Structure 1
Amino acid sequence: MKEKSIIHLDLDTFFVSVERLINSELRDRPVLVGGLGDRGVVAACSYETRKHGIHSGMSMKVARNLCPEATVIKGNASTYTKYSHLITDIIKSEVPSFEKASVDEFYADLTGMDRFFGIYSFAKELRKKIINESGLPISFGLSQNKVVSKIATGEAKPNNEIRIAMGDEKSFLAPLSVNKIPMVGNKTYQKLISLGVQNIKTIQEMPLEMIESVLGKNGKTIWMRAQGIDHSPITPFYERKSISMERTFNNDTIDMTRLKATLQAMAESLAYQLRNANKLASTLTVKIRYSDYQTYTKQVKIPYTSADHILSPKAIELFENLYQRRILIRLIGLKFSGIVGGNYQINLFDDSEKMLQLYQSLDHIKNRFGERSVLRASTLGTRSIGGTQNPFNGEPPIVLAHRKQ
Structure 2
Amino acid sequence: MAATTPQRIIAHFDLDAFFVSVERLFNPAYIGVPLIVGGKERGVVSTCSYEARQYGVHSAMPIQQAKRLCPNGIFIGGNRAAYSHYSRMVTQIIADKAPLFEKASIDEFYIDLTGMERFFDPFQWTIDLRQQIINETKLPISFGMSTNKMVAKIATDAAKPNGYLQVPFGMEKEFLAPLAVGKIPGVGKNTQQTLESIGIKTIRQIAETPVALLEKVIGKYGVELWHKAHGKHEGIVAPYHEAKSISTERTFEENVLDLDRLMAELVTMTERVGYELRQEDKMAGCIAVKIRYPNFDTNSRQIAVPYTCYDDEIIPIAKELFHQLYKKNQPVRLLGIRLSELTNHAQQTNLFYNTEKKTDLYKAIDDLKNKFGKLAVKRGGGKN
* Both proteins in one fold, TM over 0.5: yes
1:194–1:273 Cα change, 3 Å: farther
- Contact 2:256-2:331 within 8 A present in 1 as well: yes
Q: Which amino acid aligns with 2:21?
A: S
Q: Which amino acid aligns with 1:194?
A: S
1:357 to 350, 355, 360: 360
Q: Which moved more, 1:10-19 or 1:368-377?
A: 368-377
- Contact 1:306-1:344 within 8 A present in 2 as well: no
- Contact 2:368-2:376 within 8 A present in 1 as well: yes
Q: Does 1:284 align with 2:298?
A: no
Match of 1:244 in 2: 247
Q: Does 1:3 align with 2:7?
A: yes
Cα shift at 1:113: 2.7
Residue by residue over 1:381-403, the C-alpha shift from the partner in whole angstroms, topping out at 9 and shown as x without a partner, is: xxxxxxxxxxxxxxxxxxxxxxx
Distance 1:283 1:320 in 2: 17
Distance 1:295 1:26 in 2: 49
1:22–1:180 Cα change, 3 Å: same
Q: Which moved more, 1:247-256 or 1:155-164?
A: 247-256
1:189–1:271 Cα change, 3 Å: farther
Q: Does 1:207 align with 2:235?
A: no
SS of 1:202's partner is helix
- Contact 1:77-1:346 within 8 A present in 2 as well: no
- Contact 1:59-1:353 within 8 A present in 2 as well: no
**With structure 1 as the length reference, what TM-score do the two structures score?**
0.87
Match of 1:306 in 2: 309
Cα shift at 1:57: 2.6
Q: Which amino acid aligns with 1:209?
A: A
- Unaligned 5+ runs, structure 2: none
Match of 2:190 in 1: 187
- Contact 1:77-1:347 within 8 A present in 2 as well: no
- Contact 1:74-1:349 within 8 A present in 2 as well: yes
Q: Does 1:34 align with 2:38?
A: yes
Q: Does 1:15 align with 2:19?
A: yes
- Contact 1:6-1:144 within 8 A present in 2 as well: yes
SS of 1:372's partner is coil
Match of 1:390 in 2: none
1:39–1:260 Cα change, 3 Å: same
Q: What is the aligned-residue identity percentage?
A: 47
Question: Within 5 Å, which residues of 2 pair with 1:1-400?
Answer: 1-35=5-39, 37-378=40-381
- Contact 1:283-1:301 within 8 A present in 2 as well: yes
- Contact 2:267-2:379 within 8 A present in 1 as well: no
**With structure 2 as the length reference, what TM-score do the two structures score?**
0.92
1:209–1:276 Cα change, 3 Å: farther
Q: Which amino acid aligns with 2:338?
A: K
Distance 1:156 1:375 in 2: 47
Residue by residue over 1:263-314, the C-alpha shift from the partner in whole angstroms, topping out at 9 and shown as x without a partner, is: 2222222222222222111111111112222211111111111122111221
- Contact 1:54-1:66 within 8 A present in 2 as well: yes
- Contact 1:41-1:60 within 8 A present in 2 as well: yes
Distance 1:372 1:218 in 2: 36
Residue by residue over 1:17-39, the C-alpha shift from the partner in whole angstroms, topping out at 9 and shown as x without a partner, is: 0111222221111101123x423
Distance 1:250 1:186 in 2: 54
Q: Which amino acid aligns with 1:120?
A: F
Distance 2:50 2:311 in 1: 31
- Unaligned 5+ runs, structure 1: 380-405
SS of 2:255's partner is strand
SS of 1:292's partner is coil
Residues paired across the two proteins, number = 378
- Contact 1:141-1:153 within 8 A present in 2 as well: yes
Cα shift at 1:368: 4.5
1:99–1:351 Cα change, 3 Å: closer
Q: Which moved more, 1:272-281 or 1:98-107?
A: 272-281
Distance 1:228 1:364 in 2: 37
SS of 1:198's partner is coil
Q: Which amino acid aligns with 2:296?
A: Y
Q: Which moved more, 1:251-260 or 1:308-317?
A: 251-260
Cα shift at 1:346: 4.1
Cα shift at 1:350: 4.8
